[in-house]
């Protein structure tokens, strides 16, 4: 078996039993969230957690999905309810969610203040088009600009659309400088979306191959390799685009030296630095945006996912200098982008982040999360190392092992735990930002049971 320390494993099970006992006392954490005992939901007031079956105790559903285009490899689970950091399927089974809808649901599920704000906006106004102003868009843009340290916001309907907009900004910036056929440097192992422009700067040939020819003038450098970027710069290069933390590519943060070098290269050659913060931004890394920890400012960022916490919205945000020298009226647009409903969501998300001190929560609990993951790496010889920032963590499976991350994800689901995988055989952890120490310990318990089943 692949376990390194059987005594440590037994101790872990003792811990797990103490967590799940019905007599466990409830408590309130430092950030205002009240916990019921055991495996209870993240509750407020005197709510009671609904009873839930074990994920292995009932037959899996077999949904009729014949009307849905089959482009996703879905697990045979139908979720129909969420509360706190737990999801419940149609059979009543409970799952501790450490995936957050792929880093979307920062507030978890059933946040009363968030839901109330959405309901109130539905009763006021859903959509009017961008031919007119709406107050939620103005409020949301002001909060996003302030949080990012940049100046001008364009709301989109998704992260991929935000990246498309950022690419148009870069191309228009080059056009205004008289550059014909501008070039963009992107990174290998990157992921920016599935639309044609975003796919063109996504450093994964398997994703690109069926859809070529893609956007011309894109060159790929090695992430965290300064020299590989320098070799690709030409007089036509107008931008460098990268994720501050590569998420889908294996949960790999940019090194401080690399990001500082990118900023200096862009300044020296009058290129734009575009940072994709769609997955790592909005507090997940331990700062509102991950680049804040590096002491640099990008020219453009893209954001989505937790920006709307489940409501489909994204944005690209740019400095005033770049705004003045790029897109003008008529250059870009969106029918739905920035409508009152999605912007009411964005505005309320920023309010709740501040009220619940979610960035501070991430900072406080990150050492505990990384310690648990490191202890699991020390215990199982097929787990190699931990990397990431904040609540975006990856566990690298030993390259010499034949064990696949997707298999462990499946076993974890069977034990009532949702985690993700990433490229290069990495387990990815991206929980809601509202988790507590109890949830981290419960994750350890359920993941340990899954890892014990690996053969």
Percent of the chain surpassing pLDDT 70: 86
Query: If DSSP codes are grouped into helix, strand and coil, which group holds residue 419?
Result: coil
**Residue 78 zone, left/alpha/beta (φ > 0; ψ -120 to 50; rest):** beta
pLDDT at 1 over 70: no
183 alpha-carbon distance from chain centroid: 28
pLDDT digits (tens, 9 = 90+) for 109-166: 999 999 999 999 999 999 999 999 999 999 999 999 999 999 999 999 999 999 999 9
CA angle, residues 70, 75, 80, in degrees to nearest 5: 100
Asked if residue 140 lies in contact with residue 346, where contact means CB atoms within 8 angstroms, the answer is yes
Query: If DSSP codes are grouped into helix, strand and coil, which group holds residue 222?
Result: coil
What integer pLDDT is reported at residue 2 of this predicted model? 56
What domains lie within the chain, and their CATH numbers? 79-98+358-453 (3.90.1150.10), 112-356 (3.40.640.10)
Q: Is 159 annotated as a binding residue?
A: yes
What integer pLDDT is reported at residue 60 of this predicted model? 58
Residue 19 confidence class, pLDDT cut points 50, 70, 90 = very low
Asked if residue 390 lies in contact with residue 361, where contact means CB atoms within 8 angstroms, the answer is no
- Token pair listed for 39: 């495996």
- By CB atoms closer than 10 A (0-12, 13-18, 19+), residue 9 is middle
What integer pLDDT is reported at residue 56 of this predicted model? 61
Mean pLDDT in residue range 341-363? 98
**Residue 418 zone, left/alpha/beta (φ > 0; ψ -120 to 50; rest):** beta
pLDDT at 81 over 60: yes
pLDDT at 238 over 60: yes
Mean pLDDT in residue range 324-331? 97
Asked if residue 293 lies in contact with residue 286, where contact means CB atoms within 8 angstroms, the answer is yes
Mean pLDDT in residue range 426-434? 98
What integer pLDDT is reported at residue 63 of this predicted model? 76
pLDDT at 290 over 50: yes
Q: Is 194 annotated as a binding residue?
A: yes
10 Å Cβ neighbour count for 279?
28
pLDDT at 47 over 50: no
pLDDT at 18 over 70: no
Nearest one of 53, 118, 59, 47 to 83, comparing CA atoms: 47
201 alpha-carbon distance from chain centroid: 19
Give CA–CA dist 86/98, Å, rounded.
9
Q: Is 276 annotated as a binding residue?
A: yes
Q: Is 191 annotated as a binding residue?
A: yes
What integer pLDDT is reported at residue 59 of this predicted model? 54
**pTM listed for this prediction:** 0.88
What integer pLDDT is reported at residue 64 of this predicted model? 83
pLDDT digits (tens, 9 = 90+) for 388-428: 999 999 999 999 999 999 999 999 999 999 999 999 999 99
Q: Determine which helix (DSSP H) or strand (DSSP E) holds 302, and give its type and residue range.
A: strand 300-303
Lowest mean pLDDT among 67-76, 108-117, 135-144, 245-254: 67-76
Q: Is 352 annotated as a binding residue?
A: no
Average pLDDT, the chain: 90
What integer pLDDT is reported at residue 21 of this predicted model? 32
Q: Is 277 annotated as a binding residue?
A: yes
Residue 65 confidence class, pLDDT cut points 50, 70, 90 = confident
DSSP string of 6-25, one letter each residue: HHHHHHHHHHHHHHH-TTPP
Lowest mean pLDDT among 36-50, 124-138, 181-195, 440-454: 36-50
pLDDT at 278 over 60: yes
- What is the biggest distance separating any 2 CA atoms in the chain, rounded to whole angstroms? 72
pLDDT digits (tens, 9 = 90+) for 184-198: 999 999 999 999 999
């Amino acid at each position: 078996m692949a376990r390194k320390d059987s005594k440590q494993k037994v101790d872990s099970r003792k811990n797990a039993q103490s967590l799940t006992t019905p007599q466990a006392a409830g408590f309130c954490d430092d950030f205002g969230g009240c916990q019921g005992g055991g495996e209870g939901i993240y509750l407020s007031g005197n709510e009671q957690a609904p009873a839930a079956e074990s994920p292995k105790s009932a037959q899996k559903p077999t949904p009729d999905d014949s009307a849905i285009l089959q482009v996703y490899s879905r697990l045979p689970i139908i979720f129909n309810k969420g509360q706190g950091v737990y999801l419940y399927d149609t059979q009543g089974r409970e799952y501790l969610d450490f995936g957050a809808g792929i880093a979307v649901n920062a507030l978890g599920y059933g946040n009363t203040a968030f839901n109330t704000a959405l309901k109130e906006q539905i009763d006021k106004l859903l959509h009017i088009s961008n031919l007119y102003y709406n107050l939620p868009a103005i409020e949301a843009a002001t909060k996003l600009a302030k949080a990012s340290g940049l100046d001008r916001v364009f709301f989109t309907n998704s992260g991929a659309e935000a990246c498309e907009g950022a690419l148009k900004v870069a191309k228009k910036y080059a056009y205004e400088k008289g550059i014909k056929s501008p070039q963009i440097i992107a990174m290998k192992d990157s992921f920016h979306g599935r639309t044609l422009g975003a796919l063109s700067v996504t450093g994964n040939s398997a994703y690109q191959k069926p859809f070529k020819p893609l956007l011309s003038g894109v060159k790929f450098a090695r992430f965290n390799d300064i020299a590989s970027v320098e070799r690709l710069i030409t007089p036509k290069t107008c931008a460098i685009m990268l994720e501050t933390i590569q998420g889908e590519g294996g949960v790999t943060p940019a090194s401080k030296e690399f990001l500082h070098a990118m900023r200096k290269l862009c300044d020296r050659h009058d290129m734009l630095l575009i940072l994709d913060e769609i997955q790592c931004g909005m507090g997940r890394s331990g700062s509102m945006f991950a680049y804040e920890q590096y002491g640099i400012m990008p020219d453009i960022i893209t954001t989505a996912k937790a920006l709307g916490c489940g409501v489909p919205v994204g944005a690209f945000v740019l400095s005033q200098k770049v705004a003045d020298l790029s897109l003008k009226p008529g250059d870009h647009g969106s029918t739905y982008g920035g409508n009152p409903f999605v912007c009411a969501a964005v505005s309320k998300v920023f309010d709740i982040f501040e009220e619940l001190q979610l960035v501070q929560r991430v900072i406080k609990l990150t050492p505990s999360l990384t310690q648990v993951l490191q202890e699991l790496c020390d215990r199982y010889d097929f787990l190699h190392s931990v990397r990431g920032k904040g609540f975006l963590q990856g566990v690298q499976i030993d390259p010499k092992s034949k064990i696949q991350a997707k298999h462990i994800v499946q076993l974890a689901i069977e034990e009532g735990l949702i985690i993700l995988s990433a490229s290069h055989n990495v387990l990815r952890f991206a929980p809601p930002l509202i988790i507590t120490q109890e949830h981290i310990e419960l994750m350890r318990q359920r993941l340990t049971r899954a890892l014990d089943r690996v053969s």
